[in-house]
């Protein structure tokens, strides 16, 4: 059985379709032994908020792995929500 690729919620909010880049996205939280990887933004309500989606897409474009690691280091955590 073939599974449909997951679509990027940021792009969907703007009315476009893009396959979620998963690990290539700076907002991606890698999984571990128990949990699967997931988008750090999945709990943020984006419906009707195209300005927020556009802002986050610009951030995604501008952030790289080094910036993401530095952010987590400054937050003294291993994940995006500061937990």
Q: How far apart are CA 61 and CA 25, in angstroms?
A: 9
Q: What is the pTM of this model?
A: 0.68
pLDDT value for 21: 93
Confidence of residue 1 (pLDDT cuts 50, 70, 90): low
Q: How far apart are CA 35 and CA 53, in angstroms?
A: 26
Q: How far apart are CA 49 and CA 25, in angstroms?
A: 20
Q: Which residue has the higher pLDDT, 74 or 36?
A: 36
Q: Where are the domains of the chain?
A: 9-75
pLDDT value for 14: 96
7-60 pLDDT per residue, tens = 999 999 999 999 999 988 989 998 888 988 999 999 999 999 999 999 999 888
Q: How far apart are CA 49 and CA 2, in angstroms?
A: 32
- Identify the DSSP state of 22: G
């Amino acid at each position: 059985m073939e599974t449909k690729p997951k679509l990027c919620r940021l792009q969907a909010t703007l009315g476009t379709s893009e396959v979620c880049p998963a690990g290539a996205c700076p907002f991606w939280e890698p999984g571990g032994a128990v949990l699967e990887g997931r988008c750090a933004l999945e709990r943020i309500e984006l419906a009707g908020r195209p300005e927020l989606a556009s802002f986050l897409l610009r951030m995604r474009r501008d952030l790289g792995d080094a910036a993401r690691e530095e952010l987590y280091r400054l937050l003294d955590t291993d994940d995006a929500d500061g937990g």
